Amino acid sequence: MPGKRKSMKVLVTGASGFIGSAVVPALLRAGHSVRCLLRPTSKTDRISGYSWESAMGDVCDADSVMHAMEGCQAVIHLACLSSWDQIDSPLLEAVVEGGTRNILRAAAANANARVVYVSSVLAVNASNQPHVFNEDAAWTIRATNLRYSLMKRRAEALCGEAAVKGLPVVVVNPGEVYGPRDTSFVTAGNLVDFARSNPVLVCKGGTGVVHVDDVAAGIVGALHKGRAGVRYILSGENLTIRALAELTLQILGRKSRILTLPNALIRAVASAGLRLGIPLPFNPRVIPYATQFWFVDSERARHELGIRFRSAREALEPTLAWLVREAYIQ
């Protein structure tokens, strides 16, 4: 039941990923035991120092998910394609929507095990000008090229349907997550690009910035206290892309120039680069997202889950220190 802190066996999908590797120790500190759904190719170095059991399988394989759920009282579903290079992959639908369907069915078959589905603020809403959205925002975006957002929204719809049928499923929507050990450069790559460029080229857009440990705390908080069928935004300070670049350079003590390019220009260049296979100094698949404002309000998570979100500086400083220490930034 929400609010009770009894020890549970919790299945974690995506446990070896950037966020998952912060969730596993957070669950252990909360007194739970952890089972990780892993593929044979999963790299577990980020969670190797903790006590957990493994279940081999894949979220796309319904039978392996059902087997992994046996004996678990809860599941945290993080597994997703995390690389921008995979955003157009045909696997996206199978992993995000199909994988979520498999998790929900397995949870229902295991005495209605509690589910925390980790979505994204990219499924909440965005605008062309800075506007702050909460969990109840209507989806007003007309663009059809935001495939990741649309898949996450479809997975959330599945969660909503399951909640109506009585499954205790909670959705969390993290912002742009930063922290040390982002070895896949999911977001750390942004900071490396800012540090290495002069001038630094940015577009007009923005997002909420959040530390990975605060996201992990929010996920565990949703497991304990979240209301079934309810969304919780897990995000801190809202920053424009330019402000994010400025803060990065300030922390590093660098004086590089920052140039804001017109969104129409950068969208056209990105589209041409993808269509013609032209190498670009940025990942063109990011541009449809980066040229929007994904500003959000996390009051519900702060009030109901008791989560404190660090400032953007507090999120970036340890991330940049790690990047410098590991010589990703010279």
CB 202 within 8 A of CB 256: no
Per-residue pLDDT tens digits for 239-297: 999 999 999 999 999 999 999 999 999 999 999 998 999 988 788 889 999 999 999 99
Residue 83's pLDDT is what? 75
Stated pTM of the model: 0.95
Number of structural domains (the chain) is 1
Per-residue pLDDT at 4 exceeds 60: no
In a domain, 288, yes or no: no
Would you state the pLDDT for residue 6?
Answer: 85
Q: Please report whether residue 167 resides in a domain.
A: yes
* Residue 87 clears pLDDT 60, i.e. is over it: yes
Phi and psi at 178, nearest 5°, equal -120, 155
Residue 1: predicted pLDDT: 43
How does pLDDT run across 201-245, given as a tens digit for each residue? 999 999 999 999 999 999 999 999 999 999 999 999 999 999 999
pLDDT over 70 for what percent of the chain? 98
Q: How far is CA 64 from the centre of its chain?
A: 24
Averaged pLDDT of the chain: 95
**Residue 198 falls inside a structural domain:** no
What is the domain range of residue 220? 9-175+210-235+296-309
**Is residue 24 a part of any domain in this protein?**
yes
193 domain-assigned: no
pLDDT computed for residue 34 by the predictor: 98
Domain CATH code at residue 61: 3.40.50.720
Within a domain: 34: yes
For the ranges 3-7, 127-131, 141-145, the one whose mean pLDDT is highest: 127-131
pLDDT digit string, tens, across residues 31-73: 999 999 999 999 999 999 999 999 999 999 999 999 999 999 9
Residue 184 lies in a domain: no
pLDDT recorded at residue 281: 77
- Of the listed ranges 81-90, 183-192, 242-251, the least confidently predicted one is 81-90
For residues 301-310, one letter each, b for 16 or more C-beta atoms within 10 angstroms of the residue's C-beta and e for the rest, the string is bbebbebebb
In this structure, is residue 58 part of a structural domain?
yes
Q: Is the bond leading into 288 cis (omega within 30 degrees of zero)?
A: no
Q: How confident is the model at residue 3 (pLDDT cuts 50, 70, 90)?
A: very low
Is 8's pLDDT higher than 50? yes
Residue 2: predicted pLDDT: 46
pLDDT number for residue 104: 98
CA atoms within 13 A on the CB side of 82: 20
